[in-house]
Every structure is written in structure tokens, then in C-alpha cells.
Amino acid sequence: MPFDPEQFRVYKPDFSPYRDYADFGACIAFLNERGDDLLRSGPIVTPGELHTARLMDPTRTRISVIREIATNRMVAVALLKVSSDWRKCVGDVEYVLVDEDFRGGGRGLGRALMEHLLKQAREVGVTLVKLVSEPEREDARALYMKLGFKLVKGSDRHFELTLS
């Protein structure tokens, strides 16, 4: 069963003043409540005002969220940090998480989430996408490879994808 847009909504929160700001806090809460396998160094603390402004700057950060339409429950989130130098624009994917209750079953939520994030990466001119995925996250790693990510030579957890 592929991703069902009648059941789930994939979107990029609009963090302009007074819009979707609640989603920012909800993303942090979602990761802290459901991301035990991602947050080995401890929970994400609510950032200070300056750090929040940087995280909400669309030239530096892109976030993809999936909510179940019937309940408005957040079921997946992913973050893309964008940086650039004289030669290239790089996107680092972090905190890719699909709620355990919604994993598997062929729903396609992980794929929809990553495709949405990669679309955003292309929109801001990212040419190289990087991510780290631990070897025990077999399903996630299989998805990344299906999306074209390649394991970096000499590493068992670093992946890269060149965008055109």
C-alpha cells in the first residue's frame, strides 16, 4: 500500500511570525517522546531565542512533517541543515523519525518524508546531501539506498547523495 494523501499530510511548517510556531515545539516534543533510538546523547532542549531564530531561518533549515489527517497527530519529522561554501551547497539530514506506531505496513511514510525533504533541498540549491544512520537501523538504511544514497567508502554509517 503506497503513501495515502487522503490519510496523511506532508508539509513544510511555515515559521514566519505567528504561523505554525506551535509545530516547532511539537517537533521537539515528538523527537523527545518518540526518538529514543535517535537521541542517544539525551533529549533536545528547547533552544534559546537566537538558536530558535536560526533553526527557523528557511535559508539554514528545512523541516518536513507528516500528520495523520483524521487526528492531526504528528507521525513523522525530518530536519535538513543547509550550509554552503564557495564550491557547493550541502544539506545535512538529521532527526529522521517515523513514529513506531506508523512504521511498516507499506504506508510509505518514510519515503514520502524523505522525498519531501529532498525536494526542499533541491529548492534551495543543495547539491550534496549527507546523513548518518546507525547500522542497526536496517529499514531506514534500506530506504536511503533506494532513494539513491550511497555509503561513504570506509564508513559503516555515513551516507551521501549527489543532487542534480
Q: What CATH number does the domain containing 79 carry?
A: 3.40.630.30
**Rounded Cα–Cα distance for residues 118 and 101 (Å):** 24
DSSP 4: -
- Whether 61 is in a domain gets the answer yes
Flag whether pLDDT at 7 surpasses 80: yes
Residue 128 lies in a domain: yes
Is residue 2 domain-resident? no
Percent of the chain with pLDDT over 90: 45
pTM for the predicted model, two decimal places: 0.83
Instruction: Please report which helix (H) or strand (E) contains residue 63, including its range.
Output: strand 61-68
Work out the average pLDDT over 47-75: 77
Does any domain span residue 1? no
Domain encompassing residue 91:
8-162
Number of structural domains, the chain? 1
Rounded CA gap, 134 and 32, in Å?
Answer: 18
φ, ψ of residue 130 in degrees (nearest 5)? -120, 150
Angle between helices 138-146 and 109-123 (to 10 degrees): 50
